[in-house]
Each structure stands twice: as structure tokens, then as C-alpha cells.
């Protein structure tokens, strides 16, 4: 049932973006705890040192995704401001 | 008695006018703006500026409040050549709207300048019935429905997240849905992946998914993309879509989709789940953070089940 909640939120956000209505979850992370039945919202900020969308990006094409390895190993340049969510917890599973 | 010419001259003295390039700049900047096409509905259907709402001249004073609630919001009016709309603009000013602008040369000059226009496909009687509940929603309406029908959304993954997303987007009448997944349906998928049925076990998910979506709404053009999204096919795959929905189940794909969407300037509606927790956000290039801002590095292997 959990994926139904998140997938339906994704569908809702997709329609909002397509129609240009409401306030999409841009810069906001909505988290859902099914056992506690709680939604929370965490503000997300752009990381000025983001290797992709930061001020001096190091990722300018998809080359790092080749040769099946370093795809996700590029870290932020580090230092500077704290990044994104307070304590993002990695999640997987579709 | 005033001549028409005198009336137009008078209107021009009180109504500021702008050309197509000025309007295009306003539309692109995303500033609050109401664009009203004051021509008759048949002229509007034959071609109009996409962002425009049609209120024909005769109904303007009656219906404007339904479209513009703030009298300080800039309003641009246009007609075919700019004459009907300058008179209409004067009438709105007299009603108390403060920033009413007339588009010089009207729709004709806009189109001749090579700026984009859209033509409305008439909705079929079936579509009018099917989407009638959307028409009742002010923020969707017939205009929003046409927009959905013209929209193309790519779903990455037809599993737990992709199933409900696909079903709702198809039901809502998103015109083109690309469904990408390289897996076949397994019995263990069925307790959550509601796009597939027991009879589909062993079949490619994009096959059962396509059949289910077509059964739900034959209006939707479903494009089955059997296979994984990879570094070699991602750019070519996403280029045809307005929006990407990431319902993938692994970090490698999420970083790939994130990077490709950012580089291609496509909005990525992200979702993920783990056990009893889930999260969703929207990555819009240039407007907000990306997945790498949120997760600069993936979790160490072994920490997260795949």
C-alpha cells in the first residue's frame, strides 16, 4: 500500500507541473511514515557545490555513468554550506 | 456621434500597447499575467497563443472576474488585429483593472512573427463525458484537459511506484505515456504492483502495463519501452517527453535519471520507498535542487537492499 501513496503523489505532482497549477514539491521533500501515519516536509536547498547543478559543475555529460562504476561516486566538492535535507536517509526499493 | 476611428484613437490614449516580442518576454519570465483572447470561440479554436484564456468580447465584463481576481494583476488582451482588443482593454480599465495592456497587431502579428501558436483539436463527445469532472475544476477545465491530452510523460519503472502513477495519469487523460521497464511480472510483485494481474506472471511488465492502461483509457497512447534505462539510451529516450517520473528501485538509475534530466532540462518527479517509509519531491532544473544536492553520495553498498 505504501507505494500507492507515493506513486499517487508523483502522479499528482506530474499533473500539477504539466498544468502549471498549485505549488509543486520543488525544493521540498515530502516524507511519509506509514507506521506512524505521518507526513513531514523538509526544505531542500540547492547545493552551491553540487557537481551537477552547482556553480562550477564537474559533471557536464553522462561520461561518469559509463564503464559501470563511478556512476554515483562523485561527491560534492565539500566544505561550504550544509546540504539539502537535515539528515536524508537513503532509501531504495520500488 | 463618434466614429469607430475616434473610439479607437481614444482607447489608445489610455491603454498601453506592447508588441509580440514584449508579450513573449513576459510569458517566458513567468511573471503573474492574465492573457485573454477576446475573439469568438471559433477564431480561438482555429489558433491561439497557448497561455491565453478565451473570453469573447461580448462576455468580457461578465466573466473577467472569474479569471482575474486581483485588479492589480497585469492583463494582456488580444484579438485578431488589435482593434477589438484595444476597445475591450479600455472597458476593463473602466471596470478598475489597473494594468491592462493591448497586444499590438493582435494574433495575426504574433503568428506572423513566427511565435508559437496552438490549435485546438475539438474534444470528442466521449472525451467530453469522460473528463467532465475535470471541467468542473477551475484550475483544470477544458483548457487543462486539452493540455493533458497533448502532454507526454515518461514513467521509469512499472513496478510499485510506477503502477499507481501510470493508472492515475492514464485515467486523467495524459495523452502519451511512455512506460519503461525491463522486468517480467513475478508472483512476488503482485501484492503491491497493481498494474499487473495474476494472469500476467512471466510476461514483460510493459506488456501487461500497456494492456491495463489501454483498458482503463483507450484515449491514451501508451508507448511500451521494454528494457532498462541506460547511459546509452537515456538521452534519446527522454527527449520526446515533457516530464519524467522516476519510479526506479536503485541508486544507479536515480543518479542517471537525475543527471540526464538536468542536462536535458526536463523536470523529474522523484519518488522512493523503503519498508514503511516513502518520500517524494520534484527536481526542476534551474528552479530547485537536484538529486545530487540531496544525496551527494550514494549509501555504501550493503546498507541498502536493492
Assigned domain for B134 exists: no
**In chain B, how many H helices and how many E strands?**
14, 11
Of the residues B112, B130, B161, the one at which a domain ends? B112
* B19 part of a folded domain: yes
**% of residues, chain A, pLDDT over 90:** 70
Considering the domain architecture, whether residues B77 and B164 belong to the same structural domain is answered as no
Count up the domains in chain B and report the number. Answer: 2
B176 plus B98 within the same structural domain: no
Same domain? For B189 and B284 the reply is: yes
> In this structure, is residue B64 part of a structural domain?
yes
Contact check, Cβ <8 Å, A75/B297: yes
Size of interface A-B (CB pairs under 8 A): 245
CATH of the domain at B225: 3.40.50.720
Range of the domain at B182: 151-294
CB contact under 8 A, B276 and A1: no
Q: Do A47 and B289 touch (CB under 8 A)?
A: yes
Indicate if B166 and B289 belong to the same structural domain.
Answer: yes
Find the CB nearest B148 among A18, A64, A75.
A18
CB contact under 8 Å between A18 and B296, yes or no, is no
pLDDT in tens, chain B (306 residues): 889 999 999 999 999 999 999 999 999 998 899 999 999 988 998 899 999 999 999 999 999 998 898 999 999 999 999 999 999 999 999 999 999 999 999 999 999 999 999 887 789 999 999 999 999 999 999 989 999 999 999 999 999 999 999 999 999 999 999 999 999 999 999 999 999 999 999 999 999 999 999 999 999 999 999 999 999 999 999 999 999 999 999 999 999 999 999 999 999 999 999 999 999 999 999 999 999 999 998 776 655 543
Residue B140 belongs to a domain: no
Tell which of B91, B112, B133 closes a domain: B112
What is the CATH number for B30?
3.40.250.10
- Give A68 to chain B, closest Cα distance, Å: 9
- Quote the CA–CA distance of A65 and A58 in Å, as a whole number: 13
Closest in B276, B289, B296 to A35, CB measured = B276
A57 contacts chain B (CB < 8 A): no
Q: Are residues B68 and B178 in the same domain?
A: no
For residue A88, the model assigns a pLDDT of: 47
**Predicted pLDDT at B298:** 79
Answer whether A17 touches B (CB < 8 Å): yes
DSSP class of residue A66 equals: S
Given B85, B112, B139, the domain boundary residue is B112
Residue B106 lies in a domain: yes
Predicted local confidence at residue A80, as pLDDT: 30
Q: Do B168 and B287 fall into the same domain?
A: yes
Beta-carbon separation of B273 and A94 below 8 A? yes
B289 and A18 in contact by Cβ < 8 A? no
B185 and B91 together in one domain: no
CB of A30 closer than 8 Å to CB of A41? yes
Q: Which helix (H) or strand (E) holds B60?
A: helix B60-67
Same domain, B265 and B181: yes
B164 and B104, same domain (yes or no): no
Same domain, B174 and B90: no
Please state, as a whole number, how many other Cβ atoms lie within 10 Å of the Cβ of residue B226.
16
Contacts of B194 in chain A (CB under 8 A): 4
Determine the Cα angle at A11 with ends B134 and B238, to 5°: 115
Residue B130 lies in a domain: no
Q: Computed over its alpha carbons, how large is the radius of gyration of chain B?
A: 24
Asked, for residue B21, whether it belongs to a domain, the answer is yes
Query: In terms of domains, do B96 and B189 share one?
Result: no
ipTM value for the complex: 0.80
Does residue B124 sit within a domain?
A: no
Per-residue 3-state assignment (H helix, E strand, C coil) for B177-223? EEEEECCECCHHHCCCCCCCCHHHCCCEHHHHHHHHHHHHCCCCEEE
In this predicted structure, what is the pLDDT of residue A71? 52
Question: What is d(CA B304, CA B302) in angstroms, rounded to the nearest whole number?
Answer: 5
Map grid coordinates 473528463 to a residue: B131
Amino acid at each position: 500500500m505504501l507505494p500507492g501513496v507515493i506513486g499517487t503523489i508523483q502522479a499528482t505532482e506530474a499533473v500539477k507541473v504539466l498544468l502549471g497549477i498549485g505549488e509543486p514539491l520543488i525544493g521540498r521533500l515530502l516524507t511519509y511514515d506509514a507506521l506512524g501515519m505521518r507526513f513531514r516536509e523538509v526544505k531542500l536547498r540547492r547545493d552551491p557545490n553540487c557537481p551537477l547543478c552547482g556553480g562550477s559543475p564537474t559533471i557536464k555529460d553522462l561520461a561518469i555513468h559509463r564503464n559501470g562504476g563511478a556512476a554515483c561516486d562523485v561527491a560534492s566538492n565539500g566544505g561550504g554550506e550544509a546540504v539539502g535535507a537535515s539528515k536524508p536517509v537513503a532509501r531504495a526499493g520500488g | 456621434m463618434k466614429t469607430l476611428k475616434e473610439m479607437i484613437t481614444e482607447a489608445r490614449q489610455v491603454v498601453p500597447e506592447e508588441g509580440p516580442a514584449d508579450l513573449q518576454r513576459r510569458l517566458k519570465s513567468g511573471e503573474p499575467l492574465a492573457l485573454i483572447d477576446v475573439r469568438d470561440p471559433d477564431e480561438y479554436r482555429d489558433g491561439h497563443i497557448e497561455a491565453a484564456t478565451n473570453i469573447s468580447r461580448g462576455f468580457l465584463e461578465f466573466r473577467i472576474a472569474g479569471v482575474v481576481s486581483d485588479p492589480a494583476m497585469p492583463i494582456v488582451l488580444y484579438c485578431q488585429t488589435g482593434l477589438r482588443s484595444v476597445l475591450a482593454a479600455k472597458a476593463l480599465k473602466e471596470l478598475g483593472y489597473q494594468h491592462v495592456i493591448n497586444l499590438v497587431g493582435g494574433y495575426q502579428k504574433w503568428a506572423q512573427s513566427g511565435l508559437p501558436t496552438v490549435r485546438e483539436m475539438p474534444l470528442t463527445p466521449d472525451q467530453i463525458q469522460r473528463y467532465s469532472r475535470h471541467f468542473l475544476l477551475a484550475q483544470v477545465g477544458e483548457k487543462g484537459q486539452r493540455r493533458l491530452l497533448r502532454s507526454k510523460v515518461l514513467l521509469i519503472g512499472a513496478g510499485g511506484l510506477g503502477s499507481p502513477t501510470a493508472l492515475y495519469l492514464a485515467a486523467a487523460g495524459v495523452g502519451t505515456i511512455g512506460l519503461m521497464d525491463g522486468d517480467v511480472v513475478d508472483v512476488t510483485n503482485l501484492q503491491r504492483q497493481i498494474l499487473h494481474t495474476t494472469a500476467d506472471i512471466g510476461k514483460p511488465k510493459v506488456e501487461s502495463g500497456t494492456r491495463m492502461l489501454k483498458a482503463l483509457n483507450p484515449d491514451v497512447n501508451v508507448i511500451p519501452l521494454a528494457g532498462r534505462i541506460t547511459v546509452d539510451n537515456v538521452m534519446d529516450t527522454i527527449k520526446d517527453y515533457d516530464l519524467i517520473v522516476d519510479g526506479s528501485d536503485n541508486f544507479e538509475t536515480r543518479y542517471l535519471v537525475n543527471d540526464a534530466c538536468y542536462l536535458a532540462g526536463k523536470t523529474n518527479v522523484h519518488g522512493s520507498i523503503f519498508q514503511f517509509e516513502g518520500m517524494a519531491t520534484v527536481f526542476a532544473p534551474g528552479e530547485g535542487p537536484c538529486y545530487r544536492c540531496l544525496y551527494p553520495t550514494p549509501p555504501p553498498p550493503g546498507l541498502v537492499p536493492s
